[in-house]
Structure formats: structure tokens, C-alpha cells
Structure 1
């Protein structure tokens, strides 16, 4: 009796599984983005002190907010997702996806810098806590709202363009919506 195994490769992720992979990826991205938005609401709308404003999951699990490993892991997942799913995009949707990828490369480097400082105990510019480059001029919560917005916006534009049948020329997936 012969058995067949279906391996998910980069080709299948960007072909017949592209729509599913993009959906899973976007659920992860939107959930993370929602955590940052909830934290901002907790601070700016509800007046919570920053130390208590930990988003939805951070309230019952405070270590999530303070874990540099968790933040770095998410930045890495974003980077890997953007790289792995890139091949499925063509034309102007690829351009927008590449913009998101480029910004995420920087965002990832900032999180790597934070993680390395956390592990070594040596902090940028002698700061008392791990500090990213742009955090030298912008508070961390607002900076990460900004990073998530500027990575998310071109990603959404890329996906909307990608789903338009007329912009889907050369793509090997079935993401396009017929008009």
C-alpha cells in the first residue's frame, strides 16, 4: 500500500497554498497589531499607567510584555513570513510587499538589538534598560505602534492589489478574485 505525503514547500506556499498561508499570516499579524492598539487604548483612553497597560494577553500573562525573546520571536516570524510569501506576489503587489519587507528588516534589527542588550546586560548609550536606535528619540510603546503600522499598511495594499484579477498576471496562486 503506497502512501503519499504532501510537503509544504516555498513553491506550494506561493502557489496552491498561498491564499491559506496569507490568511494564517494575517491572523497572526492582526492579533499582534490588536495587542498594540489595546495597549494604546489602555494608556490614552483609559488612563492606565504604562506599567499596567499590557494589551489583552499581557494582563493575565505580564511576562509576555517584558519578554524580549517573545518580542524578538514575533519580529522574526514577521520577517520569515514576509520572505516566504513574497514569491507569490507579482507586479505592483510585489513592490508593496517588498516595502513592507524592507521596513520589517529594520524592525527585526531593532528587536535583535534589544534582545542582545537584554542577554548581555550592556545597554545602548548607557541606558538603564534595553533600548533600540529609534527608541532614543521615541518612546517604546509609540514606536512599536508606528513600526506595526508602517509594516502593516503596505502589506495590506500588497494583498489588496494581489487579489485583483487584473493585477495578478504571472502569479502562480489562486488568490485573485474574479470580477
Structure 2
């Protein structure tokens, strides 16, 4: 008498790995899975590309502040007319506090999102840039709140941040953007030229292949 009865065959089929893999429902990715996957794309798979795009945005904004300072101190333009490059055809880019705050927020978010991809010395410098931008963002938030409620810090005619009570706005925010950019640039440089311990900890390919040791 054969042992391959219908009941026995169904038990064998249920015990086979193939049947288990096929019949098991695929787990849908939850919010945490999507977050971790997104962070891997930013800091592992596409870290170099994301850093390059972020650097372009930062330099473009920094250049606008430099252009505005040149218009004031080199070309002797009135302050109201010194609006950088894009601010000349689009004055609202300079006059809108929402625009200034939005950029400060985007820059802060970018520094936060791209931090996990850094290791060692580069991570330290990137964190310095992040901390400076936290304060820079706070200063812009103070300006935005004043515009929203119509009450100005120090009772002045225009919104003012805390340090702006001591340093004029044009010079202050050029200084802020420079302070954020310099450690960020140092971090990117060190990230592309890691020491052996830093390279070992890296998960991205920003540094390329390690140099070959000479014989």
C-alpha cells in the first residue's frame, strides 16, 4: 500500500521551503522601512550626488550675499537697490521673510539628512556647520515671527534678529552663510580623502577606491 495518500502529500507540500516562500504574504514596507530606505539612498547609494546638489544650492545662495555686499561697498548702490543678482529682476526674493526663512530651513534639513553619511573628522566638521545653521535658522525664525505679528524686536521700524541689534543685516547674514559654508566645505574635503579608519567606517562611495600602496 502506498504512503502517498492525499493527506500525506498535502503535509509534505506544506513542509517544503518552496511552498512556504510562495504562500507567505509579502510584508508591506511600513513608515520606518521607508525612512531607512530613504536615508540609505541619501547617505549610501547617492551620497556623492546629494552632496554635490546641496553644495550648488549653498554656493548659489552664498554668492547672492557676496554680490549684495559688492553692490553696497564697491558699486556704492543704495541699500534698497542692492538686491544681489536674482533680486534685481525678482525683488520679492530679497524682501520676503518667508523666502529667507524657507531657505534657512531647507539648509538646516539638508545638513541633518546628510549627516549620517559622514565619519570621523568629516562628521565633526559637518556637525559644526549644522550647529551654526541651527542658530542661523533661529535668527530667521525670529524675523519671521516679527513680520507675522507686526511687533519688532527693540521697537524698531523693521524686523531685527538678536545679533542684528549689533551688526547690520547685510553683513551679518553674509557672515552667517560664510560660517556655515567653511566647515561644510572642510567636511566634504575630508570625506573625499578619508584616513584608513574613516574609510573602513564609510558606507558610501564618495572617496572612491583606496590608493594602491607602492612596492
Higher relative contact order at CA 8 Å, sep ≥6: structure 1 or structure 2?
1
Runs of 4+ aligned structure 1 residues displaced above 2 Å come to 165-169
1:96-115 matches, within 5 Å, as 96-115=125-144
Partner of 1:162: helix, strand, or coil?
Answer: helix
C-alpha separation in 2, matches of 1:147 and 1:174: 31
Answering whether residue 207 of structure 2 is matched by residue 176 of structure 1, we say: yes
Structure having the higher Rg = 2
Q: Is the 8 A contact 1:113 1:132 kept in 2?
A: yes
- Superposition CA RMSD, Å: 1.2
How far residue 11 of structure 1 moved from its aligned partner, in angstroms, is 1.8
Any idea what the Cα deviations from partners look like across 1:39-76, whole Å, max 9, x if unmatched? 11111111111110100000011111010000000000
Structure 1-normalised TM-score? Answer: 0.93
- Aligned partners of 1:165, 1:100: CA distance in 2, in Å? 19
For the pair 1:44 / 2:73, whether they are aligned, the reply is: yes
The gaps in structure 2 that reach 5 residues or longer are 1-33
> What is the TM-score normalised by the length of structure 2?
0.78
Which aligned pairs between 1:60-71 and structure 2 lie closer than 5 A?
Answer: 60-71=89-100
1:82 is aligned to 111
How far does residue 128 in structure 1 lie from its aligned partner after superposition?
1.0
- How is 1:133-144 mapped onto 2 (pairs within 5 angstroms)? 133-144=162-173
After superposition, residues 111-150 of structure 1 pair within 5 angstroms as: 111-150=140-179
The runs of 5 or more residues in structure 1 that have no matched partner are 1-6
Query: Could you report, residue by residue, the CA deviation over 1:67-109 in whole angstroms, capped at 9, with x for unpaired residues?
Result: 0000000000000000000000000100000000000000000
